[in-house]
Amino acid sequence: METIILPDTLGITAPLSIYIYESNHELTKQQVTLNQNTFSFLQAGTKEVFFDNSSSRIESSEFLLMKTGHCLMTEKLTDSSKYYKSILFFFSNEAIFQFIQKYQLKSESKLFSHSTHTFKYSNFTLDFVDSLIVIAKQSKELQSKLLPLKFEELMLYLIEKNGDRFLNSLIHSHDNQTQYFIQTIEQNKLNKLTIRELAFLSNMSISTFKRTFEKHFQKPPSKWFQEKRLEYAANLLKDKSKRPTDIYEEVGYENLSAFIHAFKSKYGVTPKQFQSN
């Protein structure tokens, strides 16, 4: 699968930039490398992203902040909207550091670093997006003067309403590659991702991914993921609130019979028998 590199593919090199993206085609788990941090102000459709340590799904009542790195991106149309639209606001790491320095903010490097943050629209942010659309129609020279001010405006507002934890996570780097790899696997163990997709999120070739996986988890990826999903299924069944027919897709099986066979191989009884014990 071809990887889209943003904002480079769009011909954008500026440290702050806007791009109005519209499409009447859906994307499913498109491999994307973000070379800049990005606000995605969703206008129509739905968006889902998977990163190394977090995943998010938003509708047009929300917008998304995404950190630089590798992700899988899905864009869907809705019954009420036959097209997908998002206002993308790209900003470099340097823009973050300059903002932190200007306002003398303190970094808390020990905080767990999520790669995505979801925000609900407010009257302020709706007006803000409208202003970005107007700025996008101006000359590049004028945009270069206005966007630093708009960036500060948005950041100051989000910090006032949400605290600065999201800002700290943007500047956190993955110094420990082993920890980064394990975190990627643990955070995505229940997501229905292929080995190729997990290797991409881990920034590895498929062969390197498989070798690294067996080194840390002492099992092939397919076997380890199957066990984790079956353990999750067992916990759902113990809760008594869900039947086998309710959960087999949730834990990654295409049909009920395949789920029953795998479950019985691990636990010695069918899911129904397990639940009745």
Residues 48 and 62 in one domain: yes
CA–CA distance, 76 with 83 (Å, rounded to integer): 8
Cis peptide before 148 (omega within 30 of 0): no
pLDDT at 109: 52
Q: At what angle do helices 93-102 and 140-162 cross, to 10 degrees?
A: 60
* CATH code of the domain in which 230 resides: 1.10.10.60
Where b means 16+ CB within 10 Å and e means fewer, 71-102 reads bbbebebeeeeeebbbbbbbbbbebbeebbee
Residues 197 and 163 in one domain: no
Mean pLDDT of 170-174: 72
The per-residue pLDDT of the chain, averaged, comes to 91
- The per-residue DSSP string of 210-275 comes to HHHHHHHHSS-HHHHHHHHHHHHHHHHHHTSSS-HHHHTTTTT-SSHHHHHHHHHHHHSS-HHHHH
Which of 171, 205, 226 is at the close of a domain? Answer: 171
pLDDT at 133: 97
Q: Could you write out the three-class secondary structure of 21-80?
A: EEECCCEEEEEEEECCEEEEEEEECEEEEECCCCEEEECCCEEEEECCEEEEEEEECECC
* pLDDT bucket at 165, cuts 50 / 70 / 90: confident
Residues 120 and 68 in one domain: yes
Residues 49 and 139 in one domain: yes
pLDDT at 275: 87
Q: For the chain, how big is the Rg over CA atoms in Å?
A: 21
Specify the length of the chain in residues: 277
pLDDT in tens, 77-108: 987 778 999 999 999 999 999 999 999 887 66
Higher pLDDT residue, 243 or 15? 15
pLDDT at 194: 93
pLDDT at 110: 54
CA–CA distance, 34 with 70 (Å, rounded to integer): 6
Residues 145 and 196 in one domain: no
Q: What percent of the chain has pLDDT over 70?
A: 96
CA–CA distance, 145 with 142 (Å, rounded to integer): 5
Closest to 96 in 3D by CA, of 155, 41, 149, 40: 155
* pLDDT bucket at 183, cuts 50 / 70 / 90: confident
pLDDT at 243: 86
CA–CA distance, 140 with 122 (Å, rounded to integer): 28
Q: Return the structure tokens found at 53.
A: 């340590």
Measured CA to CA in angstroms, residue 5 lies from 39, 101, 206, 238, 277 at distances of 16, 29, 20, 44, 52
pLDDT in tens, 237-252: 987 778 888 888 888 8
- The per-residue DSSP string of 182-200 comes to HHHHHHTTTS---HHHHHH
Range of the domain at 93: 4-171
Considering its fold, how many domains does the chain have in total?
2
pLDDT in tens, 109-126: 555 578 999 999 999 999
pLDDT at 175: 59
* CATH code of the domain in which 141 resides: 2.60.120.810
pLDDT at 61 over 90: yes
pLDDT at 173 over 90: no
The answer to which of 46-60, 134-148, 207-221, 233-247 has the lowest mean pLDDT is: 233-247
Phi, psi of 198 (to 5 degrees): -65, -40
CA–CA distance, 185 with 172 (Å, rounded to integer): 19
Dihedral (CA of 4, 9, 15, 18) sign: negative
pLDDT at 277: 76
Residues 83 and 139 in one domain: yes
Residues 26 and 67 in one domain: yes
Residues 30 and 161 in one domain: yes
pLDDT in tens, 17-33: 999 999 999 999 999 99
Residues 126 and 104 in one domain: yes
| pTM over cut 0.75 | yes
- Cα 111-58-189 angle, rounded to 5 deg: 60
* pLDDT bucket at 50, cuts 50 / 70 / 90: very high
Residues 167 and 231 in one domain: no
CA–CA distance, 18 with 22 (Å, rounded to integer): 13
Which of 171, 201, 222 is at the close of a domain? Answer: 171
Residues 181 and 155 in one domain: no
